[in-house]
Amino acid sequence: MLDARALLLVFPNTFEYFFIAYEAVGLRWDPQRMGKRLVLGVAAFLWVVVKLPQEYWIHVAQIDTTDLIKEAVFGVPVETGWGEIAAGHPGVVVGLGVALVLLVAAVRWFVTQRLPAADWTMTFDADAHARDVSAARERDASRMLAGRLLDRELGEKIAMVTLVNVIFAHVVPNVDATGPQLALGTALVITINAALSEWLVRRRVAWRSILTEFLAMAVVNAAVVLAFRLLLPVGDGSIHLGTALFFVLLVTLLVTLYDRDRPVHEARVLARAQPAMVPS
């Protein structure tokens, strides 16, 4: 809207890289071992050393990295294909391959020899790390969260998903809804989802898998969209079905992930708050 690329230096998307760094730590270590100074240090490093130079390079200086490499490193026109470049510079290709192998070996040595001992075997299964959350604790947390519909969690979901939808509304075609209209529709869909989910939890109905939950809620939300499509013409309104279904699938995905992970978070909070039972 302001068309000021320099603002990207003021508001760089550091969270994306911080999230990746946090999850990378979680592959081998318990991230809760990270102190506040270390967390802030990682965020500051990513912001100053990684993200700010990237934002300047891409959005302010507007330098095309591939063109720069072709012209400055290999001395060829930008339209030259990478296959032709590799055939004409085999020594450089071999050197880059060797450098990559050495870099991987150096990183592996640093991780295994210089960093603290791992808390668990490296795995990409996030649930395997939730050792402090039993199935019973997670069920108890779900029932506690389902005690009241209009609560902080509902407001949190509405605020988060509405912001995402407003951002996507600027790039997805066929979106005529204003910001308030989009926020109202998002809030309505999320509230319906929350009411249905909490009704099921209170009756001790559990989803077999997150995929089952996503598909079931997607059907419910698609029905809501179809109802909107039938009712809006009565008030001289309209809705683009394809675009609406895209947004409703986006809402369903975010809400499903939120509802899956929030009880785990609450169970961990409760577990830390309760003192460990020490046998007498």
Do 39 and 69 sit in the same domain of this protein? yes
Write down the pLDDT at residue 49. 92
Do 103 and 141 sit in the same domain of this protein? no
Domain range for 105 is 7-126
Per-residue pLDDT tens for 12-22? 788 889 989 99
Write down the pLDDT at residue 151. 80
Out of 81, 104, 126, a domain closes at: 126
Highest mean pLDDT among 126-140, 141-155, 182-196: 182-196
Do 185 and 257 sit in the same domain of this protein? yes
The answer to whether 164 touches 190, Cβ cutoff 8 Å, is no
Q: What is the mean pLDDT of the chain?
A: 83
Write down the pLDDT at residue 131. 57
Do 160 and 191 sit in the same domain of this protein? yes
In a domain, 233, yes or no: yes
Per-residue pLDDT tens for 176-215? 778 888 888 889 999 998 888 888 877 887 787 888 989 9
In a domain, 280, yes or no: no
Per-residue pLDDT tens for 86-125? 888 888 889 989 999 999 999 999 988 998 888 888 877 7
Do 32 and 134 sit in the same domain of this protein? no
The answer to whether 12 touches 51, Cβ cutoff 8 Å, is yes
Out of 126, 154, 188, a domain closes at: 126
Do 207 and 222 sit in the same domain of this protein? yes
Percent of the chain with pLDDT over 70: 87
Do 144 and 189 sit in the same domain of this protein? yes
Stretch 51-60: mean pLDDT: 87
Q: How far is the C-alpha of 213 from the C-alpha of 211, rounded, in Å?
A: 5
Write down the pLDDT at residue 237. 63
In total, how many domains does the chain have?
A: 2
Write down the pLDDT at residue 2. 56
Write down the pLDDT at residue 277. 46
Question: How many other β-carbons are positioned within 10 Å of the β-carbon of residue 156?
Answer: 12
Do 95 and 147 sit in the same domain of this protein? no
Residue 141 pLDDT more than 60? yes
Out of 69, 104, 126, a domain closes at: 126
Write down the pLDDT at residue 203. 81
Write down the pLDDT at residue 133. 64
**Would you list the DSSP string of the chain?**
----TTHHHHS--HHHHHHHHHHHHHTTS-GGGS-HHHHHHHHHHIIIIIIHHHHIIIIIS---HHHHIIIIIS---TT--HHHHHHH-HHHHHHHHHHHHHHHHHHHHIIIIISPPPSS---S-GGGG-TT--HHHHHHHHHHHTT-SSSHHHHHHHHHHHHHHHHHHTTSSS----HHHHHHHHHHHHHHHHHHHHHHHHTT---S-HHHHHHHHHHHHHHHHHHHHHHGGGGT----HHHHHHHHHHHHHHHHHHHHHHHHHHHHHHHHHSPPPPP-
Residue 113 CB partners (closer than 8 Å, separation 6+): none
Residue 246 pLDDT more than 70? yes
In a domain, 34, yes or no: yes
Write down the pLDDT at residue 130. 59
Write down the pLDDT at residue 279. 47
Do 141 and 250 sit in the same domain of this protein? yes
- Report yes or no on whether pTM surpasses 0.75: no
In a domain, 279, yes or no: no
Write down the pLDDT at residue 280. 41
Q: How far is the C-alpha of 249 from the C-alpha of 139, rounded, in Å?
A: 26
